[in-house]
Chain A
Amino acid sequence: MDSKPANLISEQDLDSAEYRRQSAARLLKAWETPRGWRYWSAVNNSEVGMWYTVASFCFFLFGGVLALLMRIQLAVPGNTFLTADQYNQIFTMHGSVMMFLFAVPIFEAFSIMILPEMLGARDLPFPRLSAYGFYSFVIGGIFVCGSLFFDAAPKGGWFMYPPLTSSFQDDIGADIWLLGLTFIEIASIAAAIELIVGVLKCRPPGMRINLIPLYCWYILVVAGMILFAFPPLIAGDILLEMERAFDWPFFDPQRGGDPLLWQHLFWIFGHPEVYIVFLPSVALMAMMVPTFAKTPMVGYSWVVLSAVGTGFLSFGLWVHHMFTTGLPGISIGIFSAASQAVAIPTGVQLFCFLATLTAGNVKRSVCLHFIFAGLATFIIGGLTGVMVAVAPFDFQAHDTFFIVGHLHYVLIGGTIFPIMAGFYYFFPLVKGKQLSERIGRIVFWLVLIGFNITFFPMHITGLLGMPRRVFTYPADMGFDTLNLISSLGSMILAAGFVLFLYDVVRPRTKQPLSERNPWQAGTLEWLAQMPDQPWGVRTIPIIESRYPLWEQPNFVRDVDEGRFYLPDAVEGKRETLVTTVIDAEPIQCLRVGVPTFLTFFAALFTGGFFIFATYHWWLAAIISGLIAIGVILTWVWTGTAEIPEKETKDVGLGLSLPLYISGPNAVGWWAMFITMTADITAFVSLIFGYFFYWTIHEDFPPQPVQGPGVFWPVTGMVLLMIAYGLTWLSRHWNRAGYTSAFYLSLSLAVVFSLAGTCALLAGPWLTGLNPTTHVYPAIVWVLTGWTALHVILGVIMQLYCLARRAAGKMTNQWDADIVNVSLYWHFLALTVAMTVGVIAGFPSVS
């Protein structure tokens, strides 16, 4: 199974040290990281991933400090260290920061950093999108966290239940949470798109779907989960913010609303979220366990089954957070059963890891310590999870400290221990140097002991009846000693993290570089030299096994000598390979984005829109939003679907690939498809809201139905369907070379789109639906408004295509823009049909 030699460049060339030096220099020049203040314009995955990781780790430390403040407050009964209001802000921010600013971003950050290396790719397909996501994350995170220093933080719990966060909070805190975190969720979805397309389309040749590293399977599952879990929360955020800002009564029972809708939308997000943060950590373990066992993973297919199965089943559990809200017993039973079922795939993964460790010849290290601690802790958390999935037990334990103990065992055992293992394992890839094993062992014991002393007593405190979320408690109720123990434990835990932080940031100038592949791992990321070069991989290799560094002879040498694909950057461009989804056959040489500040400004002004809106500074918000659209259009105009100087390029090994493709093989098409999947999920969540109200309220829709009637919505739909058809035709005519027909049909599509939008909005407008009076007009307006906003975006895209064609940046041959826009319109047509079917059709049949 020798690696295939290059035949495009002669063997003599390759054997020439001078040639190798020159090609490597050209490659390095193309991938050079900007210097000075321009450093922050970098978009390369290694830089953005590192910033992202550091930022989310800083938020983790911030959240940890908040936790310590809470434990100080709870250490003794009747404590006055914090006021109730301060405590509420702190516990809300602790949960929000840990979930939204650490647990999810750290996985995305780490994946952005490491995934290209793991796939033997130069970079992910949309590096600028990664940078945009990072800046959005930091701006949103600082905005949300900063509120705490102005006594303006949210204080309704990280779950933000109305009416606590609607009728009973007049200050700005809940708005900061809703708008700030919605902004961050958009960044999370952007990263998810990047990661899915990266795994599916940027694998090295030969890496068939049965050979991809398990980490990639987990990334696919988790990123897919984000697409279906985050949009319902975004939909809920929109509804709650509309209630807070404009008095639209979605959660106000007096006017037909219902707070339970928030709980449904929140937990449809919130439960999968637990697995969204847990599965990536399992993925880290799936990479480390074979390395330390020095043997391939036992039961690769079973682990894939478990990842996919857990991903699906985790969506069927949301109601188990709502067992005590008075739902029918049979509904509780259905979700209790699903909650039990998820234990099966979760258990399978753990058994596969244990089997691998048993089968192999285990090498001890701090990483492995943390992995074992993670497995043991997660199993304890999982067992208490099965306990609370049993409804009668949940009725007893609900909202007590038992739940706090359970969730920290799950999240710290399932997430933080493996992440710490990951830090020790992957640190050499980032810094070229290793963390200290000696300090690591002390960190490990401090963290493990501190963690158990902190959280194990909480199970007992909870069973004794101490409610969670209280800022203090009376003496002599049996909680005193247990709380004191928990608080002391938290100090030991904190000491462990402080020592860990010291080891991470301490100066290392005198420490020698780590040896290459210090753990003798078998997967591609360990091709990295120490210190690593910015090119991702010297040359994109051909893969023939799951552990190429172990199983492919002369592999590292061939990579180092540039004997595979794209060993050079003759044109000075940043290039990587695009391959097919299943068998990873090379189909394109993709030129990826180069450094720019556009992504920073796009994030800044997008953030401005959300932040100004929080304070109801509408004019500033609109101006900021328009500038953001302008910057994003500039970014897209100058950085995407560029017509190459030649059709194909020799990429090495005698292979010539196109530099530009459009349609389902192109990464841009996939990005649009995935984005719209998330978008339609948010829309379906709003539709769910409509039918939720119908289910529980006799007077929904109110009789006689007040609006929006049938005529105007159906007229709007007909006009928009014509616009959709014209857009589709314009794509067809463009490709066929009928330029005039293209311009005519797309221009007409713009006209019909605008007319259709007006007709759609005329329905609720002309029938006088007032959204503040009752939930029915409010939800009709939301569905109509959502659709109208999407049509406006569709019009911007149509105008963009007209401009691109006029500017010669799009032709009948190079037509990715219009192909992607017509894909957007497929989803838009579906949205229009569903909106009209619901707002005009359903009142007629209900």
Chain B
Amino acid sequence: MRNIMEQQHHHSEEFQEKHERIWFMFIPPFVWAIHLLACYLTAAIWCAKYSGTTYNFITVRVAIGIYTLLAIAIIGSLGWIGYRRHRHLSEDLAYHDDTPLDRYRFLGLATFLLSVLSAIATLFVAAVALFFGNCN
């Protein structure tokens, strides 16, 4: 315990509030939202403007595929950063003390959990492109 306390003290500079960004944890769901909108708008505009033309629907599928790869890459990297912060310095997963380290690790876990949720929701949306071969 004493060792942990010393570590916390040692790292107090590292966990100063000025280095922290609360909106960091909101980025994964925000990426999900952008992905959803991109998929929806691409499909809606293509179906309204081009579905009667010779362009193939595969364009929409490829576009959704690219959006999904990008989204998962961003969400995945944020999730990994969050996970690293969550496990920072300790194997002890309970942290509800009034220390900067506990706050730092909490925000890491929140980012990680939101990344997992966002990744699942993104893949849910992307799966639609696997099943739909045309607008209807």
Verify that A and B bind, or say they do not: yes
Bin chain B's interface residue count.
Answer: 35 or more
Q: Per-position contact with A for B51-63: 1 when CB-CB < 8 Å, else 0?
A: 1000000001000
By secondary structure, the B interface counts as helix
Shortest distance between the CB of A778 and any CB in chain B (Å):
21
Shortest distance between the CB of B68 and any CB in chain A (Å):
12
Check A330–B33 contact: CB distance below 8 A.
no
| A208 in the interface (beta carbon within 8 A) | yes
Which chain B positions have C-beta within 8 A of A583?
Answer: 17, 20, 100, 103
Assembly CA distance A333 to B44 (angstroms): 12
Q: Per-position contact with B for A345-381: 1 when CB-CB < 8 Å, else 0?
A: 1000000000000000000000000000000000000
Which chain B positions have C-beta within 8 A of A334?
Answer: 36, 39-40, 43, 125, 128
Partner of B98, one of A208, A301, A337, A582: A208
Size of the A side of the interface (Cβ < 8 Å), in residues, is 44
Closest to A542 in B: B98
Which chain A positions have C-beta within 8 A of B102?
Answer: 208, 210
Which chain B positions have C-beta within 8 A of A211?
Answer: 96, 98
Check B48–A329 contact: CB distance below 8 A.
no
Known: A305-B110, A330-B43, A334-B125. A209 touches B22 (CB 8 A): yes
Q: Per-position contact with A for B21-42: 1 when CB-CB < 8 Å, else 0?
A: 0100110011011001001100
Check B96–A210 contact: CB distance below 8 A.
yes
Assembly CA distance A344 to B98 (angstroms): 30
Closest to B117 in A: A309
Partner of A309, one of B20, B114, B128: B114
Q: Which of B20, B97, B128, B131 has the most CB of A within 10 A?
A: B128
Closest to A302 in B: B113
Which chain B positions have C-beta within 8 A of A340?
Answer: 124
| B2 in the interface (beta carbon within 8 A) | no
Known: A302-B113, A305-B113, A329-B132. A341 touches B107 (CB 8 A): no
Partner of A338, one of B26, B109, B125, B135: B125
Partner of A335, one of B29, B40, B114, B131: B40
Known: A309-B117, A345-B117, A582-B20. A206 touches B43 (CB 8 A): no
Check B103–A316 contact: CB distance below 8 A.
no
Shortest distance between the CB of B98 and any CB in chain A (Å):
4
Shortest distance between the CB of B113 and any CB in chain A (Å):
4
Q: Per-position contact with B for A314-343: 1 when CB-CB < 8 Å, else 0?
A: 011001000000011111011111101100
Partner of B136, one of A313, A328, A338, A345: A328
Q: Which of B45, B98, B117 has the most CB of A within 10 A?
A: B98
| A546 in the interface (beta carbon within 8 A) | yes
Known: A308-B26, A328-B136. A344 touches B17 (CB 8 A): no
Which chain A positions have C-beta within 8 A of B74?
Answer: none
Check A312–B98 contact: CB distance below 8 A.
no
A interface list, Cβ under 8 A from B: 206, 208-211, 296, 300-302, 304-305, 308-309, 312-313, 315-316, 319, 327-331, 333-338, 340-341, 344-345, 543-546, 580-583, 585, 695-696
Q: What are 8 contact pairs spanning A and B, CB under 8 A?
A: A208-B100, A209-B107, A301-B106, A330-B60, A333-B132, A582-B17, A582-B20, A583-B17
B interface list, Cβ under 8 A from A: 17, 20, 22, 25-26, 29-30, 32-33, 36, 39-40, 43-45, 47-49, 51, 60, 95-98, 100, 102-103, 106-107, 109-110, 113-114, 117-118, 120-121, 124-125, 127-129, 131-132, 134-136
